[in-house]
Amino acid sequence: MDPESTVTTCYRHPAVECHVRCVRCERFICPDCMRGAPVGHQCPECLKEGARSVRQARTIAGGRVSATPVVTYVLFALNVLAYLAEVVRPEIVDRFSMVGARLVGPDGGHLPADGAYFVLGTLRTEGVAGGEWERMLTSAFLHVSPFEGAFGFLHITMNMVALWQLGRVVELMLGRLRFVVLYLVSALGGSVLVLVLADPGQSSVGASGAIFGVGAAYYVLHRRLGADMAAVNRFMVVLLLWLVVSAGFTSWQGHLGGLLAGGAVASAFAYAPRDGRRVAVQAGVCAGLLALLAVAAVSRVTELTGGGISL
């Protein structure tokens, strides 16, 4: 039989006659299996194998490159939804705000943490010292109540504008997972400094600590990339000026704690060695920072419950 008269079929579809070979494996492929290549056509298997061998693009911190800042949008939505919930149920702020420790009487009223009382009934301690550790994160998604004057609306507006402007840039520079870690650790850093330095009975809310951490990351990442720092430095001057000015009417401890924690996390992400040790170094720094925050928080709670508050 003449070899040229032999019928050739697709290796994936044996019933289909074809005369084109994959340029990589040289197996016959039908039109449905043809995948365009720089020269000729490839089969689906060879195309997948080639895609696996191509090095995937990574962010400066080693995260996956994405074109849409999904995490920023989600955080923005969570803050807005929490604010709307406050409008419907204002008591949410009282229950989930950042409070170190305060006394609650039998009638549910708050009492100063110092002084002597003649109370019929049992006093209890609420706040982080009362075991409500979740306040350290939930407070970062709450804002000043809309019923507390014009600043109530201004508070969330300023924070959300900052999150929208900074978050979309920093998330794309870090990658989604690392941005989540940065945001949450910054929020915790702000809450811990409030717990350690502020009046334990003071109620604190706001995403400012987390956003100050994102602002610190914005500076660190641009410096790591060797960007033109003129505009970035002006931004940092405004951020630090706001830190000073805000001390008069809001929680400067939360702002400073978020700034320091965010700067530390961003530095670990940006300057970790670009080899197999990168993830280990980044994770190690974050774990060490979380351990430090935990020790500081537990020490302060021990102080408050061991003698700082007299019941």
> Which tens digit of pLDDT belongs to each residue from 211-232?
999 999 999 998 888 877 788 8
Q: What gap in Å lies between CA 297 and CA 257, rounded to an integer?
A: 13
Rounded-to-integer distance, Cα 65 and Cα 47, Å: 22
Averaged over 265-290, what is the pLDDT?
93
* CB-facing half-sphere around the CA of 274: CA atoms within 13 A: 8
Cβ contact 127:102 at 8 Å: yes
Cut 0.95: pTM above it = no
Q: Specify the CATH number of the domain 70-308.
A: 1.20.1540.10
Rg (the chain; Cα; Å): 28
Residue ranges per domain, the chain? Answer: 3-44, 70-308
Residue 6 has pLDDT above 80, yes or no: no
pLDDT at 163 over 90: yes
Q: What is the mean pLDDT of residues 164-184?
A: 94
CA 196 to centroid of chain Cα atoms = 23
Q: How confident is the model at residue 308 (pLDDT cuts 50, 70, 90)?
A: very low
The CA distance from 128 to 31, in Å, is 66
Q: What is the pLDDT of residue 26?
A: 80
Measured at the CA of 112, the angle between CA 109 and CA 118, to 5 degrees, comes to 70
pLDDT, average across residues 268-272: 93
Q: Quick one: average pLDDT of 62-75?
A: 91
Mean pLDDT of 168-181: 94
What pLDDT does 246 receive?
66
